Structure 1
Amino acid sequence: MSTQEVSVPAVPPASGAWRAGDPRGGRRFAQIGDISLERGGVLENVQMSYETWGTLSPTGDNAVLVLHALTGDSHVVGEAGPGHPTAGWWNGLIGPGRELDTDRWFVVAPNVLGGCQGSTGPSSPAPDGRPYGSRFPYLTVRDQVAAERALADQLGIRSWGLVVGGSMGGMRALEWAVMEPDRVERLYVLASTAAATGDQIAWCSPQLMAIRSDANFRGGDYYDAGPGRGPHAGLGVARRIAHTTYRSEAELNLRFGRLPQQGENPLGGGGRFAVESYLDHHATKLTHRFDANSYLVLSQTMNAHDVGRGRGGVAAALGRVTARTAIAAISSDRLYTPEQSAEIAAGIPDCAPLRVIDSPYGHDGFLVEIERVGEILTELLGEPAQAELAAR
């Protein structure tokens, strides 16, 4: 499969009553116009892909925004199928009677700007009809939030009852609450940070180098190379590096240790250790569903993340947040550490004490520990936000 094949072509938004939503989800498309970029310039004719669950109230006051991580997409819950390369990444959290109860909430999950599952990204057609490729502009988290804001405007959503996201999605959730405090009533950030650290940027650097060094990368303009000719090897190496940081040392040692892969001999026989096979598996999965250029664009966006940039520093920026907030960290996360989550929690005025989810799964714990994530979510939604109090 070529890397180009994983992206969704630009199509007009589906006709029909988008406001009513669909309890089963289902990908939709919105043309939101031009987006002015933080670093200057304009990204023209932007399309946003998104899914919805539940029904938007007549006053538009029951909306929830769910934001995905680096290689996620809008398919938060549901099975794999046409248009969905993988099953939902938070299966079990959305639906009637669930933590995000669709009898109460209208849930919106967009594919991020710069991604490769329906929203405008490097594999999308530029104004000249050819894929952007190397011409795609540098994005910041603020640009991505600006696109999501335009989508919210088009959907008739003035404010969000809740904005929630983990990892890269947590960066966007936090940026929403800082950029648009009057539009975010509750905030839930998991396994994220207020600003990318030197350590995180350092781990990212060899991932970017691996992709750019692939002979099939062609400077980012590989979409016309034909099936199977994209920079899959480089993207696979990037995923192996990243996935190592997503899991904990304790888990990898306990789960794999020095065991050989079944039927293989790693001791001079050209075989693999079991942990190497595990990383190979995740690399192969990603190269069949994700675009290498999107991986570069989104990784650079995460590296640039800093809510304090131009706002007097992180503390001053966090002080702008008016949302009732819950911050959760994963105890064994070595990529976005509990200390970084603690900084966010300490800086937001209306924030509950930091919740640390005890998990051996490292950074990926925010995807694995669904029950614990849901418990904190239920507590937050059970607390009336300021807009609800004012309406009483």
Structure 2
Amino acid sequence: MSAPSPAPADAPRSTGFLLLFALANAGAVISYLPLLTLLLPARIGAIAGDTRLDLFTITVIAGAAAASLSNIAFGWLSDLYGRRRRWVGLGVVLTAAAYAAIALATTPVTIVLAIMAFQIAINALLAPFLAIMADEIPDSQKGVAGGLLAFAAPLASAVGALLVSLTPSDTVRLLFIPAAVALCVVPLLRTRARPLVAKPVARTLAPPRDLAIAWVSRLLIQISGAVLSLYLFYYFQSLGPRPGLAASVAQVLTAAYVLSLPIAVVSGRLSDRIGRRKPFLLGAACAAALGLIGMTMTRDFAAASLCFGLFQIGSAVFLALHSAFATQLLPDPDHRGRDLGLINLTNTLPSLLGPLLAWALATPRDFDAVMLALAALAICGGLLILAIRERD
């Protein structure tokens, strides 16, 4: 097989390729979001009974540790041996095998081991996949590509809701998800790799300091998102009794996810056109912080829902554009997979740090202190972006 044809550094990718990239990202999110939010808690409840919370905590922590290490490892391996699409394909296969292991797990030890294997498998898919964005999508399109990544959350949420409503069988659900993942990811694998070639004029590479600042800024925003995703139901419960609260919260989440998508795409496209990401990142972080502050100032469900929606839109735009921004800051083209694996720690560490913050500041009837702390973190995350010098 002949080597992939390089393209000029500024040659745009087709809209079709960008959509396939977004679809593949949605497949990756489908692989873990319904499992971790809906199917795993039910599975652990069936295995552990009254000790389900203890087992769930152990499983989440063990899985997060496996995810952190394996993302760096598979990113580095795809740097070392190339052929990122083959590594992504391997991740799809391993993910299917991990789901089979989860379906067969019937004891606490086996479910913990199965989730650790699952986290390794999904990161075999994710690490090289995200490096494709740095390798093949020019900077002039990274904003819209990052915005399209916001498509994944509402689609994955819809898949989870569909699974729960259509079938009561855990086994059927666990078999359906890897099939859906393959359907979303394989079309991208059939495209031809087209790595970018450096411009003839030497381009100043970003110093590692800039990537470190970007890392911290994303971590601060992600901690806010992690706390809200875990404790949102309890926050709304603290506002007062409401019939059908679970269904109402699900509707609020769905609406916020759906509204985030077009705003993230438009913001990404505008940042591509003007060639600057920082104003959009700062504005998105401030919007997220305002939403959090608003959640402390109302006891009305409708008003709190609007404030949460503002937070969700702001954080979704920030994270989508940050993905584009970070790929432009990678200091060494030969280690993009490894460096993106280090950035991925901002996705796993918040699941460990966020609950500690909520435990220290929140009570079942009062979430004001933790919301204000999260707002401060969001503002700091946005302000840190200003310390990074954007490059041509």
TM-score band by shorter chain is under 0.3
Q: Structure 1-normalised TM-score?
A: 0.25
Please identify which structure carries the higher helix content. Answer: 2
Please identify which structure carries the higher strand content. Answer: 1
